[in-house]
Amino acid sequence: MSVRVVARIRPLLDKDKELSKDIIVRAEGPEGKKNVVRIPNPKNESEEFSFTFNGVYDMSTSQEELFTNEVAPHLKSLFQGLDVTIFAYGVTGTGKTHTMRGGLKMSDRGVIPRLLSGIYRRGRKVSKDSGGETGVAVTLSYYEIYNDKVFDLFESPDKRSLAGLPLREKDGKTVVVGLSERACDDLKDFERLYIEANNNRSTAGTKLNAQSSRSHAILQVKVIQTNGDETLISTASAIDLAGSEDNRRTDNGKDRMVESASINKSLFVLSQCIDAIGRGDKRIPFRESKMTRVLSLGQNNGITIMILNLAPLRSYHLDTLSSLNVSSRAKRIEVREIENEVVFKQPPRGTSSIAGSNMQRQPLRPLANAHNANVSAPAQKADKPLKAFSVYTDRAKATGPPRAPGVVPQRSNSNRKRTSDSGVSTRPTKMVRPNPTTVRSAATAGMTAAKIEEMVEKKVSEILAAQAANQPRPAVVETISESVQKRLDALEKKIEESGANKDERTEGLRFLLMAKQHKERGEDTSALKMYEMALPFFPGQQKLLVKIENIKAKIQAKRENASQLADPFGQPVEVPARKTLATAPIMQLPTPQTSFEIPQPDTQSRRRKANIANESDDEYNGSGLADGDYEEDDSFSYKATKAKKPKVKTTAKPTLQVYNDAQPGSLTPRTKHLLDVVNSRDVVLIKGLTGVGAKKARDLVEFLDLQADEAGGRIETLGQLMAAPGMGTKTVEKAYDGIMV
């Protein structure tokens, strides 16, 4: 099924009460089945844009209503072995934390405490229905991604390592290595653990939200059902993303700005992933941020629900349009609905053998003890709220009001192994891995008429929009060749893995690298965004500021050009309110902060112009990233690396030692010579280094120029040199080996 995307408009806050005339976001549709968000066109308020979602919740929606409609129906699937992911997305201050966590009052409780309540209730039912044979245990993991680092929220902040916890891919899932997992037997346990852990979360007051989340928080609730030798594990993930911020409105100081840049970057990457999936790209940039790696949108099997939080006010206008844009694309993402497998207990290896789990560091209690004392048959009585658990005890029935046709998720996957809710004992017990081929063909075969209609609608609106703009269809996206992409991936990976250099500066360099990548693809708006995100890391950098100004001017010129083409009489081309379709306005919106731009075919020459004064237009075009540029350079080429392996091997040991001389004062003569050549900024000299071609040399000089005000604009260690765009371990090793001192 597709990712289910629902929007929730928050009510006015007390401080905003007098702004009721500024409410510009409305929910529309039949009562109880609203599914359209309407918002005026910022350029012409008499026109409106409309966005259709799977459900839209207006300002009067209660926490209970949202949970009952959107989450409770999936509890059954969770117990059938499907993973369920619920995440809240939106601009800062729009109510994500309120939706996910909520308040302590019964009626204010958000999705997470209600989810736990529902899980315990269903656990008791499963246990009862199996005559007490099935035991259900629940464990929690809870972590935050702060400044692109992962921290365990069950650990107190003073025990955190600076680098955070690493991520690894295991059995097709991203797992956090070393993350703790706490047994959570009942709601009282949950209440204690959750409140304690939330105190460890990074929050701070900003101008836009008195208690703003400065991190993405991910709660994983593992449901472990055991029956005899069989174990079925499924996970519910509830994710409260940090909100995007327009720093022109936040007045953020340096610390907040750095946090903000990191938040905005990860959300930007998320929007890029959504777009790349939508376009059917081969490469989805999940790895560009930890949040997207963990979320793995479209990669994870199971059920995914995206809750888009919106503020109703005019002051959020462009930000709201931006998040509407991103979310309306997300609903086209297909998620494979595959149940987790039943796993047999293997006595000698215990729980650590459970496939797909991340229990390697903190194994669960032995399976034999995994039965939850509270889920045996007599515990059914506990359906009646116990006093001690009252804060999070859910009295609501897990059945929602009738939905619109097509709103109920279609469980059409023919791969499903079981249709009844009769407990684990009835499950087939053979261990079968889902066959990817079958999954794929099932997905195609399961195409509904609605899906086909949606695809047709998408195509038609694309063609119409292209015609309106009097230009060819924008369907073909210019992509970088596979080999260059591989090299870019390798460079990203290297930067990520260079733990020693993973400081703020490296983070800033990553933004510059991404800016360069976008510029290479002709995505100027995205490149601009990345340059702006790099700015807090290189405050006041004249060169960077000039780049930003130049690219802004270029975008503006492009826009003016496009609007003249679209309408020779100078009228903006917008879709009148009555005719709007969710897909139609997307092509015509002003490019908002985090929205994806459709790359324009780059008609500029990809060659760098000799004229430095004209640098703004093509300073990075083709420099360092064009295919040919890497021909003689093996730093990113896997094949070339293999061929030259023996040579590298013989020198690997001494060079590795040399690379550890991170202190500028203690450099070896060879390192010093290499850095002197680099810092000379003389292209001819740099080109003379082994393995460094002309473009790489020019890139390096350009990069050093950008550093002009920082640390004397010099590269002080080999680690820094490796992190420079276009360089890498292999290139630096090669250059180092080639020096005769």
Tokens of 617: 């237009």
Please name which of 24, 53, 197 lies closest in space to residue 577, comparing C-alpha atoms: 24
Query: Cβ distance 273 to 89 under 8 Å?
Result: no
Return the number of the residue (97 or 593) whose C-beta is nearest ligand ATP.
97
H or E element that contains 26: strand 26-28
Smallest separation, CB 347 to ligand ATP (Å): 46
Cα–Cα nearest to 584, from 490, 488, 469, 507: 469
Largest CA distance in the chain: 82
Q: Which CB atom, from 111 or from 330, has the smaller least distance to ligand ATP?
A: 111
**Which CB atom, from 319 or from 520, has the smaller least distance to ligand ATP?**
319
User: If you write DSSP's letter for every residue of 553-593 in order, what string do you get?
Assistant: HHHHHHHHHHHHHH-TT-------GGG--SSTGGGTS---T
Contact 446, 1 (CB under 8 A): no
In whole angstroms, the minimum distance from the beta carbon of 39 to ligand ATP comes to 18
Residues 482, 466, 516: CA angle, nearest 5 degrees: 35
Torsional class of 178: left (φ above 0), alpha (ψ -120 to 50), beta (otherwise) = left
For ligand ATP, the binding residues (CB under 6 A) are 10-11, 13, 90, 92-98, 209, 211-213, 242-243, 309
* Residue number, 240 or 288, with CB nearest to ligand ATP: 240
Q: Which helix (H) or strand (E) element contains residue 89?
A: strand 84-90
Alpha helices for 405-541 (secondary structure H): 436-445, 449-468, 482-497, 504-520, 524-534
Residue 618 backbone phi and psi in degrees, to 5: -140, 30
Smallest gap from residue 14 Cβ to ligand ATP (A):
9
Least separation in angstroms between CB 532 and ligand ATP: 19
What is the nearest approach in angstroms of ligand ATP to the Cβ of residue 242?
5
Least Å distance between CB 22 and ligand ATP?
16
Both tokens of 48, joined, read 């409106």
Q: Which residue has the tokens 């409105």?
A: 249
Report the residue number, 323 or 526, with the smaller CB distance to ligand ATP. Answer: 323
**CA separation for the pair 424, 171 (Å, rounded):** 23
| Distance in angstroms (rounded) separating the CA atoms of residues 368 and 101 | 33
Nearer to ligand ATP, 212 or 623 (CB): 212
Query: Which residues are within 8 A (CB) of 556 and not within 5 positions of it... i.e. 6 or more apart?
Result: none
Minimum distance between the CB of residue 33 and ligand ATP, rounded to whole angstroms? Answer: 20
Strands 203-204 and 216-227: unpaired
Q: How far apart are CB 9 and ligand ATP at their closest, in Å?
A: 8
**Residue placing its CB nearer to ligand ATP in the complex, 174 or 309:** 309
| Residue of 141, 88, 102 whose CA lies nearest to 267 | 88
Structure tokens at 703: 């990069």
Tokens coding 676: 């002197």
The span from the CA of 268 to the CA of 285, in Å, is 11
Nearer to ligand ATP, 313 or 551 (CB): 313
Q: Which residues are annotated as a binding site?
A: 90-97
User: Residue 10 Cβ, how far from ligand ATP at the closest point, in Å?
Assistant: 4
CB of residue 277 vs ligand ATP: minimum separation in angstroms?
24
Q: In this structure, what token pair is assigned to residue 616?
A: 């703004």
Q: Rounded to the nearest whole angstrom, what is the least distance from the CB of residue 90 to ligand ATP in the complex?
A: 6
95 or 726: whose CB is closer to ligand ATP?
Answer: 95
CB-wise, 78 or 239, nearer to ligand ATP? 239
- Toward ligand ATP, which CB reaches closer, 13 or 407? 13
> Alpha carbon 387 to chain centroid distance?
39
CB of 684 to ligand ATP, least distance (A): 51
Residue number, 102 or 356, with CB nearest to ligand ATP: 102
CA–CA separation, 313 and 318 (whole Å): 11
Helix 669-679 / helix 694-706 crossing angle, nearest 10 deg: 80
Give the residue numbers of the binding site for ATP.
90-97
Beta strand segments in 129-246, E: 135-146, 149-152, 167-170, 173-176, 182-183, 203-204, 212-213, 216-227, 230-240
Residue whose token pair is 């009952």: 68
